[in-house]
Amino acid sequence: MKDVLKQMLKIAPKKLIAGIMTLAIVAGISAPVLANFGPDRPTKAWSPSVSGFDHVTFNSFTGVGNGVGDERDFLRGVQVGRDSVWADPVNGVTQDAEVEAKIYIHNNADASLNDQPGNPGVAKNVNVRVALPTGAAQTHNTSAYISADNAQPGTIFDTLTMTGANNGFFNLEYKAGSAVLHNQDGSTSAVSDNLVTTGANIGDQKGCFQYVRELTFRMKVKMPEYNLQKSVRLEGQTSKDWVKSLSTKPGQTVEWKLEFDNIGRTVLNHVVILDQLPSNVTVVPGSVKLVDGNFPNGVALGNDTVQSNGTQINVDIGSVNPGINSIIAFKTKINDVKDLQCGTHELVNTGYATPQYLSSIKNDAKVIVTGNANCQPPQTPKELVKAGPGDVIGIFAGVTIGGALWHKLYWARRQTR
């Protein structure tokens, strides 16, 4: 039995298992046990003298040596080219990296059952299936399922957790043609890509450690990355005239542009572009339009995109593929109001982009509105002198006495005429 255990992990590629085997049988030393496997089932603690189960069941030994540990934790991974130890979780995966996962497949039926009438120790029609997560997230779980016609329980599962580097969001994509079945004798065979849909049938499997098999496959890490640029120009100017800051005057019409770029490796869904308009500007009706790969000449958007009483433009531009950019453009009128008629005023326009489930980014542009330099701006009333209640009475009393004296002198003059 010891010799069998020493050989059972040699079936994985050497470059991926370097450093994980101690080549010593140390009962009770195991890999970390995760809570995301199932279903609950009877287990046995491995030792050289323990017998197998009296029926077909998969991955139900604990305390197995050679780095296996708890067989219920049968799905582990490495970031290719970085990690040397199969682990769960695989933390800090990076852009464009590949994660190789390994499924450990052990029929725990006692070897003595393999050759009995009816072969009760042989697992019939072993099927392996993988479920990959969808969408972008900071943490992903990939699940693997092992089943057989005569297994108890019929299907078992385990998950492999992966986290993005620097808490980054990422997608996982199965690498077609990457699935390989590794046998104890060192031979390998390709596994159908049905592995990630309906599952791949790998045939019958006898009970005992000497018939352990492993199945490896790869996933591609695709991290979203995107940016937003805001610019402005006077109405009617050329494509070369977009700037971050523009000098203008009250009453003029200016054009704004929000340009969103998907520079990552994954599709971004339900990208919402929101523009917070500065004060003292008004959207020109019918001027909001979308320019993208579907509408290279632009398509007008409805007035319902102007929201919050005309202070915001809010547009869901849908899905944006990698390498594609989308533009929201619109016009505003600089209101000719008293607040802008004198002096210089800076009106900042801030835009935001938020893909579904991802973080918002923002960018802004501004107009410098110059009014009449010679006019007098509205005067701010001087602050009244702070006074106590008695002082206030005195002020009003003074006004009353002064008013009475003026009234008396006025009528005295009238009567002397």
Residue 11 pLDDT: 40
Beta bridge partners of 170: 137
Using a 10 angstrom Cβ sphere, with 0-12 exposed, 13-18 middle and 19 or more buried, the burial of residue 34 is: middle
Give the whole-angstrom CA distance, residue 50 versus residue 417: 135
Beta bridge partners of 109: 53
Residue 376 pLDDT: 63
Residue 373 pLDDT: 63
Pairing state between β 245-248 and 361-370? parallel
Residue matched to tokens 């996962």? 101
Residue 10 pLDDT: 41
The set of residues, in sequence order, having a beta carbon less than 8 Å from that of 193 and lying 6+ positions away, is 174, 176, 177, 179
Give the whole-angstrom CA distance, residue 392 versus residue 398: 10
Residue 20 pLDDT: 32
Give the whole-angstrom CA distance, residue 84 versus residue 91: 13
For every residue of 216-251, DSSP letters joined together read EEEEEEE---EEEEEEEEETT--GGG-BSEEEE-TT
Q: What angle do CA 195, 69, 129 make, to 5 degrees?
A: 10
Residue 329 pLDDT: 97
Output the average pLDDT for the chain.
85
Residue 46 pLDDT: 96
Helix (H) or strand (E) holding 396: helix 389-416
CATH topology of domain 226-370: Immunoglobulin-like (2.60.40)
Q: What does the buried/exposed string (b/e) look like for 101-137 if buried means 16 or more CB atoms within 10 Å of the residue's CB?
A: bbbbbbbbbbbebbeeeebbbbbeebbbbbebbeebb
Residue 417 pLDDT: 42
Task: Please say whether the beta carbons of 324 and 293 come within 8 A.
Answer: yes
Give the whole-angstrom CA distance, residue 51 versus residue 8: 17
Residue matched to tokens 């990422």? 170
Residue 411 pLDDT: 41
Domain ranges of the chain: 2-222, 226-370
Task: Please say whether the beta carbons of 63 and 30 come within 8 A.
Answer: yes
Task: Please say whether the beta carbons of 200 and 182 come within 8 A.
Answer: no
Give the whole-angstrom CA distance, residue 92 versus residue 155: 31
| pLDDT < 70: residue spans in the chain | 1-35, 373-374, 376-417
Give the whole-angstrom CA distance, residue 231 versus residue 329: 10
Identify which of 307, 355, 349, 308 has the alpha carbon closest to the alpha carbon of residue 332: 349
Using a 10 angstrom Cβ sphere, with 0-12 exposed, 13-18 middle and 19 or more buried, the burial of residue 12 is: buried
